[in-house]
Amino acid sequence: MKDLINKLSKAYELSDVVYQRPNFTYATANKENVISLITQLRDLEGFSHFVLLSCVDWIEDNIFQLSYILNNPTQKYDLAIRCMIDRKEATMTSAHHLWEQIATYQRELKEMYGIEFPDSPRLNEDFILEGWDDIPPMRREFDTKKFSEETFFPRERPQSNDPATYMKNKMHPDEWDNTPSSKG
Amino acid sequence: MSEEKNIEQPSKQAKTFENPYYAKREVTGPDGQKFIVDPMKDYFSDECPTVHEPNSIPVVEKFLNWARAESLWVLGFGTGCGSIEIGPLLTPRFDAFRYGVMPRPTPRQSNVFIISGYLAVKTLKRVIRSYEQMPNPKYVLALGSCTINGGMYYDSYNTINRLDQYIPVDAYVAGCMPRPEALLAGFNKLKELIKAGKAENANEYAKNFDWYKANQKKIIKDWNMPDYNW
Amino acid sequence: MSLFNIDTDRSKYPQPGEDGKLVVDLDSHKYVKLWQGPNHPGVTGNMALELTLAGDEIVQAKTHVGYLHRGFEKLIERRLFIQGMQTSIRMCVAEPDTNEYVYCQCVEELSGIEIPEMAKWIRTLVLEMSRLQSFLRVVPGQGGTTGLGIGVQWGMYMRELILDRFEELTGGRIYHMYFTPGGVRGLLPDGFKKRMEESLIEIDDFVKRIDDVMYSNAVFKKRTVDVAVLDPRWVDKYGIVGPVARSAGFKRDVRKDYPYLIYNQLDFEAIIMNHSDIYNRSRVRWYELQQSVDLIRQIMAKMPDKGDFKAPTPNVLHWEIPKGEAYVRAESSRGEYGLYMVTDGSDKPRRVNLRGPSYTQAVCLLEDMLVGANIADVHSIMVSLQTCPPEIER
């Protein structure tokens, strides 16, 4: 399958190619090329099964990584196309015309990450959340524990002891009293 | 640290929750007559729940409690993953029918609500509506550690932590997930409570209605139903 | 068009406008809007269908999911790799072992751990048992949708036998947590193979009985044959996998195509049929149930008795995995079940995304397949696609 990657690299400037397994390859493509690349893969190279569209939030680099995983069922080969988009203006060309299921993935990404896919059907309808008015929850800066403590009513938890210090205190009280940290 | 400053924080999206289904509108009937439909008034009742007073004669009340305890009709609403153990519970191995437990398809016919595990906020709204539709006397059996303190979802943004803040709970069955034997023990405990006349939490709900409503409205943002909906 | 047939020609139904929304004039008294679920005995799990009906024929269907959303993928980002185990397995309750396997396999692949031979055999055994208990729910459940309750009662009892074996092996009925990154937690107990064989003999008997009672039943045939036919062109369009695709003639089985664990040492063939209606989809599962029984027998005959069952791992409390990404797939009873994991060099995963078969089958395909169906067949169609809401919304 290296032939295919070499062929595609010339036309689409693939970078960061990782041959993870004999039948699984990752490659990064430019944002502008991705849709034409996966169209070619579907129509000419036999990648007819679309597996997954996922998003990874690289908050340090200020980018979202979109991963399109495609599968070639006849040659038993997978190709994952990564694509980096800007985090501030998260917009990506919609691919729902290639596989209908992508519309569902795009609805989820819009809701969970706030990524816009112009012209994708039913994009702005509520998919999973209902009446959500905070920042999209799957973004890294959203603190789910803080949100949970503020919104729901956490039950008071029993005080737990660190087992090491507790047992030390219990079994060797003299030793415990002499350690400088316990006096502080 | 300088890198972190570059990250732009998206502003909170202010959404308005207006659904066209609930708007007042003019409709033409089959015979050409025009009339105005107001779904918030026409589709819902505005009756406030009332306290179900016990019978004044103790013997009669004791008999009624016995009868209630022996026919626990369960609402068949699997709200979480605990509902997978309801299947074995009602089939030959554990056979809950011998305790008078029986699934019903609609809240109008049932008087036990099994909250089977974690409750997402979207489900909680439906649970409240189903609970308010159930006729008195009604009881709530909460399954799993997720209903007690959030369990393993204690830090999730979409599941509630304590069920008893939103609807009253009569008995908890702990575990993740509780075995069918534990469920049977929970039903037996509930029976004891009913026979002793202690399972009066539906009345507590009616008495503290405003407190419960305030808690419910705190987390359900899209509250497109009236306060007293059945 | 007959009442029991779905025509794939959509032109006579109201068409959606340019924005993808179908505008139906509910006030014209030709259509009725009906919600099926979430509190309804005729939906599989906690999800809702918004149906628009003309008479008893469906002209538009929308699925509403999210009633079981717990934010797993967010929670796993806050957990250590070993803590992620107990979180990840609860993603889908009907078949938790597949979750365990894909999570462990992702961690092992990214950290470069090779699991011992004995662990591979035990994992295969547990995965096949898990598929078997899932089929024991869904195969008679298909009869239950048409009012044949006896199969459900039998099937639940047979499932209990497998759950007992699970309990004996792992200590848990539903959630086992028997797999761990690096291998499994223990060997088979003494006499396990003998008791397993006793259970399988009872299941063999059940397989014959369900064939007589359900698949030869005239009512069942009338309700399921040629109902909700799957157009083979839809398979790639919607990304359909598993028994639903196999019943339409697509030979796609992850265990055969991408052999994992020790499936390449076992003797089996992917089961295919060439006409995907409700009856054949259920029939494929019935054959796969027998295949699972056969595979468990093969595994127990071929597996070694003793051996190393866990590879050494670093200290799990300070386990940092280098940057990388992996997509691991396994065959669950519903089809290809995959987990996509991205790590960034820290002790927690950066991103975990689960791809369940229901994600496409219960949203896109169901919405398309229900158009033109009869309202009474909705539950049968949902069960025949083996809809599992928790894996859609996670």
Query: Average pLDDT, stretch C308-330?
Result: 87
Q: Is B215 on the interface with A (CB under 8 A)?
A: yes
Looking up residue C211, the CATH number of its domain turns out to be 1.10.645.10
Interface contact flag, B158 A59, Cβ < 8 Å:
no
Chain A CB contacts of C75 under 8 Å are: 144
- Among the partner-chain residues C75, C239, C342, the one whose CB lies closest to the CB of A50 is C239
Q: Closest partner residue to C355 among A51, A65, A127, by Cβ?
A: A51
- Report d(CA C53, CA C58) in Å as an integer: 5
pLDDT of residue B122: 86
Query: Which chain B residues in 50-89 lie under 8 Å from chain C, judged by CB atoms?
Result: 75-81, 83-85, 87-88
A46 touches chain B (CB under 8 A): no
Shortest distance between the Cα of C338 and any Cα of chain A, in A, equals 9
Asked, for residue B27, whether it belongs to a domain, the answer is no
Q: Respond yes or no on whether the N-terminal peptide bond of residue B39 is cis (omega within 30° of 0).
A: no
Quick one: pLDDT at residue A94?
87
CB pairs under 8 A, 24+ apart, for B19-26?
A: B19/B224, B22/B224
Range of the domain at B87: 72-219
Pairwise CA distance, residues C118 & B200, whole Å: 56
- Nearest-angstrom CA–CA distance, C285 and C211: 12
Question: ω into residue B177 within 30 of 0, thus cis?
Answer: yes
| Whether pLDDT at C349 is above 50 | yes
β C48-54/C57-64 pair status: antiparallel
**Average confidence score pLDDT of chain C:** 86
Judge contact between C65 and C43, C-beta under 8 A: no
Cα distances (angstroms) measured from residue C287 to each of C207, C226, C282 = 9, 19, 9
Q: Would you say residue C20 has pLDDT above 70?
A: no
Nearest to A56 among C19, C75, C351 (CB): C351
Answer yes or no: is C234 within a domain. Answer: yes
- Among partner residues A62, A129, A155, which is closest to B161 by beta-carbon distance? A155
**pLDDT tens-digit map of C374-387:** 888 888 898 888 88
Q: What is the mean pLDDT of residues B215-229?
A: 72
Which candidate from A88, A148, A157 shows the least CB-CB separation from B155?
Answer: A148
Residue A184 clears pLDDT 60, i.e. is over it? no
Per-residue pLDDT at C388:
84
What's the whole-number mean pLDDT along residues B27-56?
A: 75
Q: Give dist(CA C274, CA C390) in Å, integer.
A: 30
For chain A, what is the domain count? Answer: 1
Q: Which of A67, A128, A145 to mutate to test the interface with C (most CBs of C within 10 A)?
A: A128
Chains in contact with A, where contact means 3 or more Cβ–Cβ distances below 8 Å, are B, C
Residue C183 within any structural domain of the chain: yes
What CATH number should be reported for the domain holding residue B94?
A: 3.40.50.12280
Domain region containing A128? 2-155
Q: What are phi and psi of C391, to 5 degrees?
A: -85, -5
Rounded CA separation C228/C370 (Å) = 8
What Å distances lie between residue C108 and C105, C116, C119, C326, C350, CA to CA? 5, 12, 13, 10, 16
pLDDT band of C5, cuts 50, 70, 90? low
B229, B13, B223, B204: which is closest to B107 by C-alpha? B229
pLDDT tens by residue, C184-209? 888 888 888 899 999 999 999 999 99
| Segments of B144-226 assigned E as strands | 171-173
Identify the three-state secondary structure at position A100.
Answer: coil
Please report whether residue A36 resides in a domain: yes
Pull the structure tokens for residue B19.
Answer: 């659904």
In DSSP notation, A61-95 reads TTEEEEEEEEEETTTTEEEEEEEEEESTT-B----
User: Measured between alpha carbons, how far is residue C81 from residues A7, C101, C260 in Å?
Assistant: 38, 14, 22
From A131, A139, A145, residue closest to B17, measured CB to CB: A131
Q: Which of B7, B12, B5, B220 is nearest to B121 (CA)?
A: B220
**When comparing pLDDT for A176 and C15, which is higher?**
C15
CA pair distance C393, B121, nearest whole angstrom: 13
Residue A172 lies in a domain: no
Task: Give the nearest partner residue to C360 out of A69, A101, A130, using CB atoms.
Answer: A101
C8 domain residue, yes or no: no
Range of the domain at C299: 72-393
Residue of B nearest to A147 (CA): B157
Helical H segments across chain C, by residue range: 72-76, 83-88, 96-111, 117-144, 149-170, 192-210, 218-224, 234-238, 242-247, 254-257, 278-302, 358-360, 366-369, 378-384, 390-393
Contact state of C327 with A130 under an 8 Å Cβ cutoff: no
Euclidean distance between CA atoms C287 and A95, whole angstroms: 37
Contact C70 B126 (CB under 8 A): no
Q: What is the pLDDT of residue B15?
A: 53
Residue type, C153: Q
Q: What is the pLDDT of residue B5?
A: 45
Q: What is the pLDDT of residues C255-305, one digit of tens each?
A: 888 888 888 888 888 888 888 889 999 999 999 999 999 999 999 999 888
CB contact at 8 A, C338 and C102: yes
Residue A114 has pLDDT above 70, yes or no: yes
Which residues in chain C are contacts of A47 at CB distance < 8 A?
none
Contact state of A122 with C20 under an 8 Å Cβ cutoff: yes
What are the pLDDT digits (tens) for A123-150? 877 788 887 888 888 888 888 888 888 8
In a domain, B196, yes or no: yes
CB of B115 within 8 Å of any CB in chain C?
no
Task: Please state the separation of Cα B129 from the chain's center in Å.
Answer: 7
| Domain contains B151 | yes
Confidence band of A34 (pLDDT split at 50, 70, 90):
confident
Six token digits for residue B164? 């008893």
Nearest residue in chain B measured CA to CA from A128: B122
Strand-pairing partners, residue C338, are C329, C355
Weakest mean pLDDT among B46-60, C353-367, C368-382 = B46-60
Is B38's pLDDT higher than 80? no
Closest CA in chain C for residue B32:
C28
Q: How far is B35 from chain C (nearest CA, A)?
A: 12
Domain count, chain B: 1
Does any domain span residue B98?
Answer: yes
- Of the partner residues B9, B149, B156, the one whose CB lies closest to the CB of residue A155: B149
**Which among C50, C277, C90 has a CA at the least distance from the CA of B153?**
C90
Indicate yes or no: CB of A155 within 8 angstroms of CB of B162. yes
Mark yes or no for CB contact A141/B7 under 8 Å: yes
- What's the pLDDT band for B120 if we cut at 50, 70, 90? confident
Are C174 and B88 in contact (CB < 8 Å)? no
* H-helix or E-strand spanning residue A181: helix A180-183
| Closest partner CB to A69 (pick from C19, C327, C363) | C327
Least Cα distance to B170 among B139, B147, B191 occurs for B139
Q: How far is C9 from chain B (nearest CA, A)?
A: 31
Could you tell me if residue C189 is inside a domain?
yes
Task: Dump pLDDT digits (tens) for C84-101.
Answer: 888 888 888 888 889 899
In a domain? residue B43: no
C-alpha distance from B101 to closest chain C C-alpha (Å):
16
> How many whole angstroms from its chain centre is CA C386?
7
Residue C187 domain flag: yes
Identify whether C378 is part of a domain.
yes
Sequence length of chain B is 230
Burial label for C94, CB within 10 Å (0-12, 13-18, 19+), is: buried
- Chains touching C (3+ CB pairs < 8 Å): A, B
Q: Is residue C324 one of the residues assigned to a domain?
A: yes
Residue A182 has pLDDT above 50, yes or no: no
The reported pLDDT for the residue numbered B2 is: 40
Q: Do residues B57 and C107 touch, judged by C-beta distance below 8 A?
A: no
Residue-wise pLDDT for B51-91, tens only, equals 888 888 889 989 988 998 888 899 888 888 888 888 888 88
Write the pLDDT tens digit of every residue in A38-61: 888 888 888 888 888 999 988 888
B74 in Cβ contact with B101 (< 8 Å): yes
Cα(C71)–Cα(C75) distance, integer angstroms: 6
In this prediction, residues C42-58 reach a mean pLDDT of 81
Neighbours of C301 (CB within 10 A): 8
What's the sign of the alpha-carbon dihedral C131, C137, C143, C145? Answer: negative
B27 contacts on C by Cβ (under 8 Å): 27
Q: What percent of chain C has pLDDT over 90?
A: 18
Sorted by sequence, the CB contacts under 8 Å of residue C375 that are 6+ apart come out as C34, C51, C53, C56, C57, C58
Asked if the structure places residue A164 within a domain, the reply is no
CATH number at residue A83: 3.30.460.80
Test C174 with B156 for CB contact under 8 angstroms: no
Q: pLDDT tens for residues C109-129?
A: 888 888 899 999 999 999 999
Residue B91 distance to chain A (closest CA, Å): 33
Angle at A44 between CA A43 and CA A47, to 5 degrees: 70
**C70 close to B (CB below 8 A):** yes
Report the C-alpha gap between A38 and A42 in whole angstroms. 6
For chain C, how many structural domains are there in total?
1
* pLDDT above 50 (res B219): yes
Q: What chain B residue is nearest to C96 in terms of C-alpha separation?
A: B81
Give the global pTM: 0.86
CB contact under 8 A, C157 and B92: yes
